[in-house]
Structure 1
């Protein structure tokens, strides 16, 4: 695992709150991620993970709080604004087209042209380079998506984020419903994103996956921060305790009994 960078975070969220009518989805949440770092965001259902991901990706705007990129305050009012800030997100639905091949899916909506025509050769060359950088096992960039496994489709979705040269990638449950082999391949891609210098936010319910690739684990509970852990040293029981509420961020680790008289 890489050591956490002590310099200015790539992305920092300060006291972020979001309400949906009477429901408080996020309450004063702090969160940050550095370049060359995988930060896992975990919590039970309705903990606020997806809401936080949508705020980072520009799908939702916070009611209050501060967002900083490289230490500078920013607003992310839309997905296009997130793209401009070089923030890419892969949601669970993947947003891929089964009737297109790998290259067409990678460049969907961002096709390269030359003299007013699609530049298929340059797109295929770029697609091969990106898949190679991710160590993907997809046999050909011309393979139709509908012939790929679920794990390979996730690989395409992750590779698609690299078309825009992002600095930060948000992955929402990337290993859900995958086989053991497919999960291992996706986890390798996540490690490669970190090796390439990106910051990665990994949202997952699978503690084995989280502990395998994360540098740091941040726990949300009922929309609030409830623990921050070094993935290399934290025990499963510590993380689970924060998720379930058995322990809280305010709880002390050093409980001393009074001396007997």
Structure 2
């Protein structure tokens, strides 16, 4: 069973149609890019999959099981994690506390935070993913933008049992940091993760994605294997203009 299957997903906000009958499957060990112009509906779709919005119509299946998320926490409980451009990290906390944010480990019987175990698990994960930070106990504010984004991806990897969603994960990063994050995304793929990435960067799409699906004004224009399409063809699909 594919980790994610979307069938006939639509979303209306009053009289405004944000998404109209969107279909997609994302396989384990696959990176699918979601592209489109501003206002095409990309972020709305991510919010539907992650439980922030409920679809007006259509169905979402995870590993073959139909799901209807009440909210984002419900989606997380079902193994769906999101990496947003703004990261949703706490600068003044150490890396390990950010990894376990809202899911802190506690020692019995008194319920004190088990900082040592959280730091140990975090260090093991960042070492496994080759996230280059001084230590899991480093304060987040001391890290670079690329390192922080890597921590956000590592957190999603740790908690996502089925799917990782990324909404413009490298939009605010420089060239070197973008390359490191892309390397991390490919490592998630190698580990068997299903990854859906929203990106406006066509070169990035061709570097990391197996398939790409195009949205224009809320409608799905088509889905292509990256190896079987071109930059010009994708731009034509996004804009609706012939190349």
Is the Cα contact below 8 Å between 1:57 and 1:79 reproduced in 2?
Answer: yes
For the residue of structure 1 that corresponds to 2:171, the secondary structure is coil
For the residue of structure 2 that corresponds to 1:67, the secondary structure is strand
For the residue of structure 1 that corresponds to 2:227, the secondary structure is coil
- Deviation at residue 118 of structure 1 after TM alignment: 1.3
**1:143-169 per-position Cα deviation (integer Å, ceiling 9, x unaligned):** 111111111110111111133242200
Return 5+ residue gaps in structure 1 as ranges.
Answer: 1-7, 248-261
- Deviation at residue 133 of structure 1 after TM alignment: 2.2
Confirm whether residue 225 of structure 1 aligns to residue 225 of structure 2: no
**Which one of the candidate residues 203, 209, 212 is aligned to 2:207?**
212
**Which one of the candidate residues 158, 161, 171 is aligned to 1:176?**
171
- Deviation at residue 9 of structure 1 after TM alignment: 2.1
For the residue of structure 2 that corresponds to 1:137, the secondary structure is coil
Q: Distance in 1 between matches of 2:158 and 2:104?
A: 10
**1:110-134 per-position Cα deviation (integer Å, ceiling 9, x unaligned):** 1111122211111111101111222
In angstroms, what is the RMSD of aligned CA positions?
1.1
Confirm whether residue 93 of structure 1 aligns to residue 103 of structure 2: no
Q: Distance in 2 between matches of 1:58 and 1:96?
A: 19
Deviant stretches of 4+, over 6 Å: none
Q: How does 1:104-123 map to 2 (within 5 A)?
A: 104-115=97-108, 116-123=111-118
**Which one of the candidate residues 189, 193, 196 is aligned to 1:198?**
193
For the residue of structure 1 that corresponds to 2:82, the secondary structure is strand
**Which one of the candidate residues 81, 85, 102 is aligned to 2:74?**
81
Tell me which structure has the larger Cα radius of gyration. Answer: 1
Q: Distance in 2 between matches of 1:136 and 1:211?
A: 23
Structure 2 match to 1:14: 7
Q: Distance in 2 between matches of 1:132 and 1:242?
A: 40
**Which one of the candidate residues 12, 36, 44 is aligned to 1:51?**
44
Is the Cα contact below 8 Å between 1:133 and 1:192 reproduced in 2?
Answer: no
Q: How does 1:27-46 map to 2 (within 5 A)?
A: 27-46=20-39
- Deviation at residue 83 of structure 1 after TM alignment: 1.3
Q: Distance in 2 between matches of 1:165 and 1:229?
A: 26
Size of the alignment, in residue pairs? 240
Is the Cα contact below 8 Å between 1:107 and 1:163 reproduced in 2?
Answer: no
Q: Distance in 2 between matches of 1:123 and 1:38?
A: 29
Q: Distance in 2 between matches of 1:132 and 1:236?
A: 35
Q: Distance in 2 between matches of 1:174 and 1:122?
A: 28
- TM-score, normalised to structure 1, is 0.89
Q: Distance in 2 between matches of 1:197 and 1:129?
A: 18
Return 5+ residue gaps in structure 2 as ranges.
Answer: none
Structure 2 match to 1:129: 124
- TM-score, normalised to structure 2, is 0.95
**1:185-235 per-position Cα deviation (integer Å, ceiling 9, x unaligned):** 000110111111110000010111111010000000111111211112311
- Deviation at residue 21 of structure 1 after TM alignment: 1.9
Structure 1 match to 2:233: 238
